């Protein structure tokens, strides 16, 4: 459904769930909201934040597709996804803000970065570096694999405890040379 209306017709099966959405989302004609159940959640689709290239003619045309920009549950609690605007992780989700106002930074790594880290750890430990390829096969049974993986989640802002942020990531993830999860640390 496209935003832009405060209320749905009372006979609409999603009318009650629509009212649980924050008013800002309901009224925005630039957002699309999708759900597969009257119980929610809503997936919020919009345009990805991006930085135009230096030689790009502005205003740039709108993209023909929308990207996931957030989630809203049936109680109106939100998660907003922040995507990287440029660089090697351009378009990837690198931050999340939850309904309580906490900000989380998602640290992403490439297969080449993980391979180099594995080589450096082996060398510093006086061991022979193991085989850790710089790239992964381009396609898997699940589709294209660009080799980007989540390696850590940091809490960067907490409105309840702004001066008491953790000094370490909330979680770290390890990956095998084949790009499979090696578990959380």
> Rounded to whole angstroms, what are the CA distances from 54 to 51, 58, 60, 87, 105?
9, 10, 12, 14, 27
> Rounded to whole angstroms, what are the CA distances from 173 to 108, 142, 180?
10, 21, 10
The reply to whether 94 falls in a domain is: yes
The reply to whether 167 falls in a domain is: no
The reply to whether 44 falls in a domain is: yes
Digit-coded pLDDT (tens) for 60-96: 666 677 889 999 998 889 999 999 988 999 989 999 9
d(CA 33, CA 164): 35
The reply to whether 9 falls in a domain is: yes
The reply to whether 170 falls in a domain is: no
Domain count, the chain: 1
Query: Which of 14-28, 45-59, 142-156 has the lowest average pLDDT?
Result: 45-59
The reply to whether 1 falls in a domain is: yes
- In this structure, the chain runs to a length of 185
**Domain limits for position 7:** 1-99
Quick one: pLDDT band at residue 154, thresholds 50, 70, 90? very high
The reply to whether 60 falls in a domain is: yes
The reply to whether 48 falls in a domain is: yes
């Amino acid at each position: 459904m496209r935003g832009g209306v405060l209320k749905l017709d009372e006979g609409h099966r999603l009318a009650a769930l629509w009212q649980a959405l924050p008013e800002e989302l309901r009224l925005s004609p630039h957002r699309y909201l999708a759900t597969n159940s009257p119980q929610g959640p809503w997936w919020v689709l919009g345009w990805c934040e991006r930085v135009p290239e230096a030689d790009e003619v502005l205003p740039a045309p709108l993209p023909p597709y929308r990207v996931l920009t957030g989630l809203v549950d049936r109680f109106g609690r939100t998660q907003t996804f922040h995507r990287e605007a440029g660089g090697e992780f351009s378009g990837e989700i690198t931050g999340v803000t939850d309904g309580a106002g906490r900000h989380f930074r998602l640290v992403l790594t490439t297969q080449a970065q993980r391979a180099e880290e594995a080589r450096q750890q082996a060398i510093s430990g006086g061991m022979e570096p193991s085989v850790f390829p710089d790239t992964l096969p381009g396609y898997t049974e699940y589709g294209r694999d660009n080799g980007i993986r989540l390696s850590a989640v940091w809490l960067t802002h907490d409105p309840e405890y702004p001066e008491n942020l953790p000094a370490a990531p909330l979680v770290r993830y390890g990956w095998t040379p084949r790009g499979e999860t090696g578990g959380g640390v």
